[in-house]
Amino acid sequence: MTATTDGSAEALPPRAASATTGSPIPATARDAPAETVEQVAARATERAVTHLLASQHSDGWWKGDLETNVTMDAEDLLLRQFLGILDDRTTQAAARWIRSQQREDGTWATFYGGPGELSTTIEAYVALRLAGDEPEAPHMEAASAWVRKEGGIASSRVFTRIWLALFGWWKWEDLPELPPELIHLPKWFPLNIYSFGCWARQTIVPLTVVSAYRPVRRAPFTLDELHTDPALPNPSSRPAPLTTWDGVFQRLDRALHAYRKVSLRPLRRGALNTCARWIIERQENDGCWGGIQPPAVYSIIALHLLGYDLDHPVMRAGLESLDRFAVWYEDGSRMIEACQSPVWDTCLAIIALADAGVRPDHPALVKAAEWMAAEQISRRGDWTVRRPRLPAGGWAFEFHNDNYPDIDDTAEVILALKRVAHPEPDRIASAVQRGVQWNLGMQSRNGAWGAFDVDNTSQFPNRLPFCDFGEVIDPPSADVTAHVVEMLAAVGKEHDPRTRRGVEWLLAEQEPNGSWFGRWGVNYIYGTGSVVPALIAAGIPASHPAIRRAVRWLESVQNADGGWGEDLRSYPDTSWVGRGASTASQTAWALLALLAAGEREGQAVERGVRWLAETQADDGSWDEPYFTGTGFPWDFSINYHLYRMVFPLTALGRYVHGEHPALEAGYRPREAA
């Protein structure tokens, strides 16, 4: 195969050599009867390599759009309205995007093809009211009627009602209390801020400030049309029995409301000052917080309430960082990304290209490895609360997020760096060694790995009335643990006792049907596609009963068209497990597991490979409107726009070239300590 970007790029010889010569065959002839599946796969791989190489940024990284739902866009407008900086161009561009995402029944969903969601619909509706859409307009009437049918604003989640309270559309006293004194709870206390996952922690601290001030900036209109009969009682006002944890925490919330009236002013003032320092210390060099949009929004509001004017350097940098989350489209619409994923996208792109046969010293791979090496984090972050003696060495997901490197990115970056023949091998080896040491140090007591923290497993935070939206803790997961195990095997630590503990945990976590739960991807297909290659890399034979059960499950859920797909509804509803429209990324995950399990010659693999080749676009890419990434299972879903490229290319490359050819062809760093 020959891939070209700014010149010729030699590749490792594929198994189907006859598919690598001659002129490109038109898309209509890709599946001609005379072509073997190997030839079809090689040709699809070549086209995908060319496309992916061409999309690399000049600085060496890759980044696809990260699409979530319109609450990001609505809350961006609400923030600007609250601060008094909302301009017409931004408003109309956001409104154009929000309107484009409305469903036929007038609602908004949290993922493509999903059902209408109440809080998302309310926030979208309010944003369009800010943009000037009249309540009598047909699309607005449809939305408000549906909201009323579903219980109105009173039935929405707490975060939505906080936004509405900022403008007087909801009463602060009817929201859960979140006192800033929480910042002073000792680290051993069950509900201290480090009991929460890092994403929740970064949001909760500024929200304690907002809760203390209870600001109201009166809006230019009312939202009477989104309320049901105000005489009806709010269901959330009736506490659960005291014999349940929910009942205990609901009464705790009532006690905190009472405490607000008698709290000592010096104590509260000290807590607010501590919160301010905590927030400012965690602002990244680019002005954002944690590289994600929600904590940045709430941090800006909190600091504004604490007296920081909009021209203060901290505020100015924070507001400028929010503009970098905006994706502008040719039609004039504007989508807000909840986060940006250049490190994740880049390491996955390197793995895909290397496994597809691009030579390990190709300039694109070397440049990408150079950029990733520079992104390694050397400063200490919140993870040191549980691991105070562990040296830094991880990688984060985003451009700037030095406070919160994550275990998943670190493992995949190391797997990517192993595939590159860098001209300074010792420097890369040193970076790999630090990363391996950091990941090993972040192992939880049960032998597995979470995403950001160690042993972040307390269920108490989930019980708080405030926490009614998404995951707020970070327990170990099968997909993250699998990536770490695969990485440890790649650096020669497959027999290390810590690796074996991870393997044992993974084997114990297998579902009765043979799959694994996918925490950070949708869902059981992602979990299984992550775990099987890791177990095989760690020395579990393909004949092992766990591997055979996984193979049988994947074969049983393959779609009639040859692909695989799983709907996000599999998180709350087991009838959806392994079921959904075929997608390029999920088909690739299934193929990665089957290939690792030695099923290359099987009918399921052949059908899956042909599906990828037949659905490939003329430019070498794949179309994938479905959301296959997970932020919070069911509650917050993600469409990583680069997943549709990197995972199919990895699967096709491994089919054409065999398992992990680049790990043998590329640079092999010295074993990490």
Q: Identify whether the C-beta of residue 619 lies closer than 8 Å to the C-beta of residue 51.
A: yes
Say which amino acid occupies 668.
R
At 668 the pLDDT is 41
318 C-beta neighbours (distance < 10 Å), count: 26
- Which DSSP symbol is given to 521? B
| Mean pLDDT for all residues in the chain | 91
Q: What is the mean pLDDT of residues 524-541?
A: 98
Q: What is the dihedral of CA 460, 461, 467, 473, to 10 degrees?
A: -120
Query: Angle at CA 518, nearest 5°, toward 322 and 561?
Result: 105
Pair of tokens at residue 58: 């000049």
Residue 109 has pLDDT above 80, yes or no: yes
Q: What is the mean pLDDT of residues 268-276?
A: 96
Quick one: 83 exposed, middle or buried, by C-beta within 10 A (0-12, 13-18, 19+)?
Answer: middle
Q: For 496-511, how does the pLDDT look when each residue is reduced to its tens digit (9 = 90+)?
A: 999 999 999 999 999 9
- Listed range (181-190, 253-262, 314-323, 383-392) with the worst mean pLDDT: 253-262
Length of the chain in terms of residues written: 673
Start-to-end Cα distance in the chain: 38
Question: Which residue in the block uniquely carries the two structure tokens 């790649």?
Answer: 490
Pair of tokens at residue 551: 């193979």
Quick one: 601 exposed, middle or buried, by C-beta within 10 A (0-12, 13-18, 19+)?
Answer: exposed
Residue 663: pLDDT band (50, 70, 90) is: low
- Which DSSP symbol is given to 262? H
Backbone angles phi, psi at 24, to 5 degrees: -60, 140
Residue 665 has pLDDT above 50, yes or no: no
Tell me the C-alpha to C-alpha distance, in Å, between residue 314 and each of 186, 296, 299, 310, 339.
28, 11, 10, 9, 20
Query: Angle at CA 252, nearest 5°, toward 248 and 254?
Result: 120
Backbone angles phi, psi at 10, to 5 degrees: -65, 150
Question: Which residue in the block uniquely carries the two structure tokens 């960082």?
Answer: 321
* Number of continuous H segments (helices) and E segments (strands) in the chain: 24, 7
Question: For residues 13 and 263, which has the higher predicted lDDT (pLDDT)?
Answer: 263
Q: What is the mean pLDDT of residues 258-286?
A: 89
- Which DSSP symbol is given to 672? P
Tell me the C-alpha to C-alpha distance, in Å, between residue 384 and each of 182, 405, 502.
20, 11, 22
Q: For 218-243, how does the pLDDT look when each residue is reduced to its tens digit (9 = 90+)?
A: 999 999 999 986 544 454 457 778 66
- Which DSSP symbol is given to 474? B
Half-sphere exposure in the Cβ direction for 435 (13 Å, CA): 35
Residue ranges of E strands in 508-557: none
Say which amino acid occupies 265.
R
Question: For residues 96 and 2, which has the higher predicted lDDT (pLDDT)?
Answer: 96
- Which DSSP symbol is given to 471? -
Q: Identify whether the C-beta of residue 155 lies closer than 8 Å to the C-beta of residue 118.
A: yes
Give the rounded distance of the alpha carbon of 297 from its chain centre.
Answer: 18
Tell me the C-alpha to C-alpha distance, in Å, between residue 428 and each of 284, 295, 373, 413.
25, 33, 7, 11
The DSSP result for 369-397, as a single string, is: HHHHHHT---S--GGGGT-TTPPP--B-S
At 230 the pLDDT is 53
Nearest partner of 294 among 635, 641, 643, 640, judged by Cα:
635
Contacts with 601 (C-beta within 8 Å, 6 or more apart), sequence order: none
Q: For 120-173, how does the pLDDT look when each residue is reduced to its tens digit (9 = 90+)?
A: 999 999 999 999 999 999 999 999 999 999 999 999 999 999 999 999 999 999
- Radius of gyration for the chain, computed over Cα atoms and rounded to the nearest angstrom: 25
HEC assignment per residue over 199-210: HHHHHHHHHHHH
The DSSP result for 304-373, as a single string, is: HHTT--TTSHHHHHHHHHHHTTEEE-TTS-EEE-SB--HHHHHHHHHHHHHHTTB-TT-HHHHHHHHHHH
In order of their start, the domains of the chain are 2-64+341-458+472-665 (1.50.10.20), 67-228+245-336 (1.50.10.20)
Contacts with 14 (C-beta within 8 Å, 6 or more apart), sequence order: 1, 20, 38, 42, 45, 357, 656, 657
Per annotation, catalytic residue among 76, 402, 408, 468: 408
Strand partners, 564: 583
At 22 the pLDDT is 33
Q: Identify whether the C-beta of residue 356 lies closer than 8 Å to the C-beta of residue 45.
A: yes
Q: Identify whether the C-beta of residue 464 lies closer than 8 Å to the C-beta of residue 195.
A: no
85 C-beta neighbours (distance < 10 Å), count: 11
Q: What is the mean pLDDT of residues 338-358?
A: 97
At 385 the pLDDT is 95
Residue 16 has pLDDT above 70, yes or no: no
Q: Identify whether the C-beta of residue 424 lies closer than 8 Å to the C-beta of residue 367.
A: no
At 401 the pLDDT is 92
Residue 542 has pLDDT above 60, yes or no: yes
Pair of tokens at residue 301: 């509001």
408 catalytic? Reply is: yes
- Listed range (260-264, 362-366, 454-458, 477-481) with the worst mean pLDDT: 260-264
At 659 the pLDDT is 73
At 667 the pLDDT is 42
44 C-beta neighbours (distance < 10 Å), count: 26
Q: What is the mean pLDDT of residues 478-493?
A: 98
Pair of tokens at residue 179: 């006192």
Task: State how far the Cα of 511 lies from the Cα of 528, in Å rounded to an integer.
Answer: 10
Residue 184 has pLDDT above 60, yes or no: yes
Strand partners, 629: 521, 638
Task: State how far the Cα of 105 lies from the Cα of 140, in Å rounded to an integer.
Answer: 11
